[in-house]
Structure 1
Amino acid sequence: MKDVTLIAGPTASGKSGLALRLARESGGVIVNADSMQVYGVLSLLTARPQADELKQAPHRLYGHRDPGEPYSTGEWLREAEEIVRTLGRERPLIFVGGTGLYFRALCEGLSPMPTVPQELREALREALTQEGPKALHSRLLELDAETARRLEPGDGQRILRALEVLQASGRSIGYWQSQKGVPVIDGSAARKVVLEPDRRELRERIALRFNAMVEEGAIDEVKQLLSLDLPPDMPAMKAIGVREIGDFLAGRLTLEEAVQLSTIATSQYAKRQSTWFRGQLGAQWRVYRCFGAGVYPE
Structure 2
Amino acid sequence: MFGSGLEIKTPDEVLVMREAGLVVGRTLELLRGAVRPGITTAELDRLAEEHIRDCGAVPSFLGYGDPPFPATICTSVDDEVVHGIPGSRELVEGDVVSIDCGAIVDGWHGDAAITVPVGEIADDVAELLRVTEEALWRGLAAARLGGRVGDISHAVESHVRSQGGYGIVEGYTGHGIGSEMHLNPDVPNYGKPGRGPRLRRGLALAVEPMITLGSPETDLLDDDWTVVSSDGSWAAHFEHTLALTADGVWVLTAEDGGRERLEALGAAYGGPAA
TM-score bracket for the superposition, by shorter chain length: under 0.3
**TM-score normalized by the length of structure 1:** 0.24
| Greater helix share, structure number | 1
Of the two, which has the highest radius of gyration?
1
Which gives a bigger RCO, structure 1 or 2 (Cα 8 Å, sep 6+)? 1
**TM-score normalized by the length of structure 2:** 0.25
| Greater strand share, structure number | 2
